Every structure is written in structure tokens, then in C-alpha cells.
Amino acid sequence: MLLDPAHALTTHWTYMLGALPWFARFALATQHHRVEAIADARADMLAHASEALDTLLRESGHTAMIENRGLIHTFQSKAGLAGAAYAIEMRRRRGVRLEVLGGDALRELEPALSTAVAGGVWYPNVRNCVNPQRMTEAIAADFFERGGDLVTDNVTGFDIGADGPRRIIAGRGSYDCDLVVLAAGAWSKPLAKQLGCDIALETERGYHIMITPPGTELRIPLVSNDQHIAISPMEHGLRLSTMSEFAAIDAPPRHDRPLHIFEKAINVVRGLNVAGSSSWVGARPSTPDSLPVIGRSPRFRNTLFAFGHGHLGLTWAAITGQLISQLASSVAPTIDLDAFRPDRTYTGSHLAPSRRG
Ligand SMILES: Cc1cc2nc3c(=O)[nH]c(=O)nc-3n(C[C@H](O)[C@H](O)[C@H](O)COP(=O)(O)OP(=O)(O)OC[C@H]3O[C@@H](n4cnc5c(N)ncnc54)[C@H](O)[C@@H]3O)c2cc1C
């Protein structure tokens, strides 16, 4: 995949050398028994994700930003669909509702699908957020209403006393603290190191374009497994996203390559017009074992880590917030956090054998 110049998986080769230890751990985590155990831990998070988000949105009075439209994974060949059998079965064994359907049955569900789609998988219970920015603003407004405060500053370090960090050092000043929650996404690694833990964290950059108007009426979010493109109907148009680009977090974006990939989306959706779209690059914080880092620093009791959510940071945000607030107030967490502890090996070796493998 890395050698194919048109593939969605790419790296900057000079950067790759420094990332080799991450990839070595990733290779270890791909052993079958570890994949199954990792899937269990991810399923535990997913099982509580919807309820935690609904609670948060209900409390902020904004429930309308999540829609229940399901999700379709499309394949342009029967062989491609057959090749995904293991992943499909792995989800089915964990109770994910899904149906494997032929191209015509999928087009009945979603008439915007092109005749190039030979088959796919329909996940009726998947939900999507139609405007993540508006949702974040609504939750923040609720936080302010309850007395929360927001200070925007660039954290560079900590003043650490005998019991852990007591001041946060930032660009415009320093701030007293009783408790630190490090939740700086892909930027967390150097700060985590200062707080007592060397985390295997890489930046997996993704690109998206927003198409307004899209030129087509797509109702159900799609993932094209052949082209590695997610296509989501949003409040303002259609959002297409792609790419796993392992690169420095501040490397200049390379918009050409994703644009070529996005153009292939017209094979999947009829009448799609990708011209005149706006583009964006974002940094996914990714661990080699595909599990987030949620837990207490092994060195300091007053330091909590909450990052490393990879491709599912929006999906897992609310349940992570709930778990962190439970840790902060010494309440038993909703799920066992051992799988996500910061001082693990990041190869999956710390996990118990799967219950469903
Ligand atoms: C193209 C693309 C598509 C995606 N699609 C989905 C999807 O469909 N569903 C899903 O669940 N997830 C999706 N994701 C993944 C999701 O966006 C991430 O997992 C999520 O943003 C991670 O959240 P976070 O809060 O940990 O980090 P971020 O969202 O990156 O937030 C980290 C914050 O910390 C701040 N920060 C960093 N360093 C410092 C510092 N030193 N001092 C102060 N502040 C600092 C940053 O400015 C930023 O505001 C997608 C990602 C991309 C790139």
C-alpha cells in the first residue's frame, strides 16, 4: 500500500525512520489473538459511546445534531466483499447489527449509489453527527452556563512538586492546578513525557473536502472500501474524507493526493460533483494497538491522560469525558480501564485473551 502512489495510506519517507518503533509495535499488534482482544476493548468503549453522548447532549439541550441514518460499506467487486469477511464476522461476533447485501438491494436502500457498487454491508444502528462544530459549541455553552471557564493558551510544561504537577506553564503565563487532564490529541506525546509516561503515539493525518452543493441526494453515510473514502451527508453539504498519512504534525499539507482519491468517489455515488469544494487536513492521534490512552499517569496521582483516539475521537469523546470525570472524583469507572492504561506495551500484549474470538 505504501508503495502505491495513489493509495490512501502514505508517509513522508524521512519521517518514517523515526516512526519505525511505532510500526514495529503495530506489526506485533496485528497477531490474530491480539486483534481479537483489541476488538473486545474497542467494543467495550463503543457499547457506551451512544449513551454517554446522548446524556451530554440532553443536558445541553441539543439532541438534534445526531441522526440515525445507519452506514453502508460499499465494495465494487464481489472479491473485495469476500476479502472483508473476517472484519465483518469480527463485528457480528461482538453484537454489531449488520446485513451483507448485493448491489441492487443496497441501491434500494440508497438510490444515489452507482451501478459500480457490487455489494456491501448495511449497519442500521450507526449514527452520525451532522455538524461537529455546532455540537462542540453547544456542549461548551452548557459548560460555561454551569460555571466553567475557558483559557486559551499554549501549554509548554509543568512545575512539578513532590506530589505531581502544581502549576501549568504556558505561553502567556502559568496556572495553579490541583489536577491535570492531558487531552491534547496528537500533540500529547511530549507533554505526557514530562508527566511521567513515554507513549507510542503517532500523527495519522486525514484530509476532507466539503462539497456544497453536492449535486446529488445522498441520505445514508457511506464508506467506500475500494477507494478508502468516507462520504457523509452533513448540515451544509457532503463531507468526503480519506487518507492515513503518517507525517510530522506540522508538515505542509499535500492536498493533491487526496483530491485524486476524492475524484474516484464519483464511481460510487451518482451525480457527485467534487469541484469547488473546500479542503482541510486534521491530525488523528493514533496508537499502534488502536486503543486510546485513558487513565492515571503511573508517576503522578493528580494527572490523567485522555488522548490517542485515532479514527474514533468524536465517537468516543463523551464516554471518555465520563470516564475521566469518574477517575477525577474517585468513582468506579463505567468500564474497566486496564486496556487503556498509559504504561502498557502498545502491542496488545497487556490484554486478556478475547472472550469472543
Ligand atoms: C479527516 C478526518 C476524519 C475523521 N472522521 C472521524 C469520524 O467520522 N468519527 C470519529 O469519531 N472521529 C473521526 N476523526 C478522528 C477525530 O477527529 C480525532 O480522533 C479527534 O479529533 C481526537 O480528539 P482529541 O480531542 O483527542 O484531539 P483534537 O481534536 O486534536 O484536540 C486537541 C486539542 O488540544 C489542543 N492542543 C494541542 N497542544 C496544545 C498545547 N500545547 N497547549 C494547549 N492546547 C493544545 C489543540 O489545539 C486541540 O484543540 C477524523 C479525523 C480526521 C482527520
- For residue 356, the model assigns a pLDDT of 83
Q: Please tell me the residue having the least CA distance from ligand 1 atom 26.
A: 185
Q: How confident is the model at residue 155 (pLDDT cuts 50, 70, 90)?
A: very high
Q: Which of 219, 158, 205, 202 is nearest to 308 (CA)?
A: 202
Q: CA 224, CA 207: separation in Å to the nearest integer? A: 15
Confidence band of 276 (pLDDT split at 50, 70, 90): low
Mean pLDDT of 267-285: 90
Ligand 1 atom index nearest CA of 205: 53
Task: Write the residue with the smallest CA distance to atom 29 of ligand 1.
Answer: 185
In three-state secondary structure terms, 66 is strand
Residue 277 has pLDDT above 90, yes or no: no
Please, what is the average pLDDT of the chain?
95
Q: Whose CA is nearest to atom 33 of ligand 1?
A: 184
Q: How far apart are CA 202 and CA 283, in angstroms?
A: 9
Q: Are 258 and 207 in contact (CB under 8 A)?
A: yes
Rounded CA gap, 104 and 118, in Å? Answer: 8
Would you say the pTM of this structure is higher than 0.95? yes
Per-residue model confidence as pLDDT tens digits over 8-65: 999 998 999 999 999 999 999 999 999 999 999 999 999 999 999 999 999 888 777 8
Apex CA 188: angle with CA 286 and CA 190, to 5°? 115
Mean pLDDT across 350-357: 90
**Mind listing the pLDDT tens digit for each residue in 206-221?**
999 999 888 889 999 9
- C-alpha cell recorded at residue 60: 445541553
Distance (angstroms) between ligand 1 centre and the Cα of 111 equals 33
181 CB less than 6 Å from ligand 1? no
The rounded percent of the chain whose pLDDT value lies above 70 is 100
Contact of 201 with 287, CB cutoff 8 Å: yes
Query: pLDDT tens-digit profile of 107-143?
Result: 999 999 999 999 999 999 999 999 999 999 999 999 9
